[in-house]
Amino acid sequence: MSLVVMATGGTGGHIYPAVATARELMGRGHRAVILGQRGGMEQRVAFDTGLEFQGVDAGKLARSGQGRPDPRELLRAGRGVAEARRYLKGARPGAVVGFGGFASLPGVLAAQSLGLPTVLHEQNARLGLTQRLAAGRARAVGTAYGQVIGLPESRATLVGMPVREERRPRAEALAQLGLQENRLTLLVMGGSQGSLALNNAVPGVLREIFGQAGRTPDGQAVQVLHATGPRWLEEVAPRVADLPWYRVVGYTDAVAAWSAADLGLTRAGTGTLAEAAFHGVPLVMVPLPESAENHQLHNARSVQAAGAGRVVEQAELAGALGGAVLECAAPGTRAAMRAAALSRSPQGAAGRFADLVERHLR
């Protein structure tokens, strides 16, 4: 069997599909290693999930005020490519798999410079910058959408969005998270790094619609698990300290959280939407306005069109969020939305992408 290196990092949307694919390949007898930014989120996730990790330097391909790449970041990226080359020369993997994001670039470019097979996964409907740099020499590109702008159809293989295909019994998940049974459980999560806009708006809105007692207008008991992102925990927690039904954490076990949730209030990244669909959780989605090509808004509208969620744009948070949450929390609406969410489940995507990777192992 082969060693397969997963080049990824930066955000959960890039890291967790790599983890799901790594686990699938390991189940088939391969060895998998996560390669990403030294000290980045991917290193912590690899440790938490028991995966091997190889750290390199990585530079963000951001633009400076003059619209040119920051030369310091380019230097870091160059160092990362050199470090990745040294590692890959010795490890000689069967393939390097790139999941997008700046932290994936050193591993993918280093592999291509060494003539090693590379396979990419593109999670969005538009080819990302790092993937555009690598796609020309990649052996194959797996996609989460049937058509990807910037990628010829002949180069794309639709596999779906790999997610951790793991569910926990609801009672077990609630107990793990310190939550109660027999309450409507609302998960608030702004992505792996948290969301300042959601952290600022959501506590006040939920206090207003659920009251001190934590109940819907028809009397249903509610509880909230709000993952703020570690850097905002100390700011948000005091604002809801008097609400016994509102639990604030910096970071949460996503499998447990999705297994416990009845309704999610989230951003609209592809990874978040895929995990919600796998677990059958309806969503109130607040797309990130600054997402590239406004792709989160398009993602969210597709979920809403399928009947699995409601879109609230960030500019409308104060006026529209409470009504959307109450609408989706109603039992009949929530049941219909859950069925619609499950119909969009990406179950099997990790296996399909692993099949594609295996076809190109050297």
Instruction: For residue 245, give its domain range.
Output: 170-344
Do 317 and 180 sit in the same domain of this protein? yes
Location of structure tokens 């990302």? 128
Do 204 and 251 sit in the same domain of this protein? yes
Do 241 and 271 sit in the same domain of this protein? yes
Question: Would you give per-residue pLDDT tens digits along the chain (362 residues)?
Answer: 899 999 999 888 899 999 999 999 999 999 999 999 999 999 999 999 999 999 999 877 654 444 566 778 778 888 999 999 999 999 999 999 999 988 999 999 999 999 999 999 999 888 888 899 999 999 999 999 888 889 999 999 999 999 999 999 999 999 999 999 999 999 999 876 678 999 999 999 999 999 999 999 999 999 999 999 989 999 999 999 999 999 999 989 999 999 999 999 999 998 999 999 999 999 999 999 988 778 889 889 989 999 999 999 999 998 999 999 999 999 999 999 999 999 999 999 999 999 999 999 98
Do 179 and 210 sit in the same domain of this protein? yes
Dist CA 122 CA 99 (whole Å): 7
Distances (CA, A) of 113 to 38, 66, 86, 108: 21, 30, 12, 9
CATH number of the domain where residue 19 is located? 3.40.50.2000
Dist CA 204 CA 23 (whole Å): 40
Do 224 and 284 sit in the same domain of this protein? yes
Do 177 and 258 sit in the same domain of this protein? yes
Q: Which residues pair with 225 in a beta bridge?
A: 187, 247
Q: Is 345 labelled as part of a ligand binding site?
A: no
Do 275 and 338 sit in the same domain of this protein? yes
Do 134 and 271 sit in the same domain of this protein? no
Q: Measured at the alpha carbon of residue 33, what is the angle toward residues 31 and 37, in degrees to the nearest 5?
A: 175
Q: What is the pLDDT of residue 65?
A: 46
Longest dimension (CA), the chain: 64
Q: Is 259 labelled as part of a ligand binding site?
A: no
Q: Is 250 labelled as part of a ligand binding site?
A: no
Q: Is 164 labelled as part of a ligand binding site?
A: yes
**Alpha helices of the chain — where are they, by DSSP H?**
12-27, 41-49, 71-91, 105-113, 129-135, 170-177, 196-210, 233-236, 254-260, 270-279, 295-305, 317-329, 331-343, 349-359
Dist CA 59 CA 198 (whole Å): 28
Q: Is 124 labelled as part of a ligand binding site?
A: yes
Within 10 angstroms of residue 267's Cβ, the number of other Cβ atoms is 25
Do 61 and 125 sit in the same domain of this protein? yes
Do 159 and 239 sit in the same domain of this protein? no
Q: Is 13 labelled as part of a ligand binding site?
A: yes
Domain count within the chain = 2
Do 187 and 287 sit in the same domain of this protein? yes
Do 141 and 181 sit in the same domain of this protein? no
Q: Is 194 labelled as part of a ligand binding site?
A: no
User: Taking Cα atoms as reference points, which of 217, 210, 347 lies closest to residue 265?
Assistant: 210
- As a dihedral over the C-alpha atoms of residue 191, residue 199, residue 313, residue 41, rounded to 10 degrees, the angle is -20
